[in-house]
């Protein structure tokens, strides 16, 4: 029986999410997928569907509005999966660091495997980061990974599940 694990590397499907980015990094991601840089030669498809993706490309510092969707998208992706933080904002907050409406980077909420610095990142760096992410993807387990902080169990009010209220406020404890 041959090992199915090695085929993960050969067909990574990408989900791209903009968590409040200025669109600079998004344009570079699209450039990397375009004919000139040709990420498709590694078997990459930009699916846009979390249920069929392996690599989660996130751009932008996480704004308060987008963090709930960020975690929801992350939890919808089936394991094994890797997260790639694209751009300075996504890694550390960048120029938006410690502003009132952003979180400083996505690693406060979901576990990140590869950080790609740069403002905006170059397509070459994105390709490099994705190829590094493939090596990590090959060794990942199939166990579900939990999102770090924001996710909490859906509350039930009068028999109705409230999925919208799964975000924690800043400073709120996970136990609350």
Partner 1 sequence: MIEYILIVLAPVFGGVLYGFERVVRARMQNRQGPPVLQPFYDMYKLIDKNSSIVHPMHIVLAILHFITLWAVVALMILGYNFLYVIFLHLLATIFIILAGFSVRSVYSHVGSNRELLAMLAYEPIFILIATGFYMINGSYDISLIRQEDTQILSMILLFAAFLLTVPLKLKKSPFDACEAHQEIVGGVEIEYSGIYFEFLYMAKWIEYVFVYMILLLFAGNNILLGVFLAIAVFLIVNLVDNSTSRVNIVQTIKIIMGIGLTLSCLNILGLSYV
Radius of gyration of the chain (CA): 17
Specify the residue for token string 């390709």: 127
Q: Which of 95, 119, 144, 161 binds partner 1 (CB under 8 A)?
A: 144
The smaller minimum CB distance to partner 1, of residues 10 and 119, is found at 10
Q: Is 162 in the site for partner 1 (CB under 8 A)?
A: no
Q: Which of 24, 27, 31, 47 binds partner 1 (CB under 8 A)?
A: 47
**Which among 31-39, 65-73, 82-90, 103-111 is the span making contact with partner 1, rule CB under 8 A?**
31-39
Q: Is 52 in the site for partner 1 (CB under 8 A)?
A: yes
Query: Which x/- pattern, by CB under 8 A, does the window 114-143 give for partner 1?
Result: ----------------------------x-
The smaller minimum CB distance to partner 1, of residues 41 and 169, is found at 41
Secondary structure percentages of the chain, helix, strand, coil, to 5: 35, 20, 50
Rounded Cα distance, 137 and 120, in Å: 25
| Residue 93 in tokens | 């907050």
Q: Which of 46, 63, 92, 122 binds partner 1 (CB under 8 A)?
A: 46
- Beta-carbon count within 10 A of 18 CB: 18
# chain residues binding partner 1, by CB under 8 A: 25
Rounded Cα distance, 8 and 80, in Å: 9
50: which residues sit within 8 A by CB, 6+ positions away? 15, 56, 73, 74, 76, 77
Q: Which of 20, 24, 31, 48 binds partner 1 (CB under 8 A)?
A: 48
102-103 and 62-63 strand pairing: antiparallel
Q: Which residues bind partner 1 (CB under 8 A)?
A: 4-5, 7-8, 10-11, 35-36, 38, 40-43, 46-49, 51-52, 54, 78-80, 142, 144
């Amino acid at each position: 029986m041959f090992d199915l694990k090695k085929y993960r590397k050969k067909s990574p499907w990408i989900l791209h999410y903009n968590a409040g980015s200025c669109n600079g990094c998004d344009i570079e991601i699209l450039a990397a997928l375009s004919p000139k840089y040709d990420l498709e030669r590694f078997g990459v498809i930009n699916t846009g569907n979390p249920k069929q993706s392996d690599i989660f490309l996130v751009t932008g510092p996480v704004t308060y509005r987008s963090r709930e969707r960020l975690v929801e998208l992350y939890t919808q992706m089936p394991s094994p999966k890797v997260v790639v933080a694209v751009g300075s904002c996504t890694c550390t907050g960048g120029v938006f660091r410690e502003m009132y409406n952003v979180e400083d980077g996505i690693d406060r909420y979901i576990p990140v495997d590869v950080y790609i610095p740069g403002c905006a990142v170059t397509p070459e760096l994105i390709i490099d980061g994705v190829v590094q992410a493939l090596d990590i993807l090959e060794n990942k387990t199939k166990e579900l990974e939990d999102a770090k902080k924001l996710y909490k169990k859906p509350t039930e009010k009068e028999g109705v599940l409230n999925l919208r209220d799964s975000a924690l406020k800043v400073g709120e404890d996970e136990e609350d």
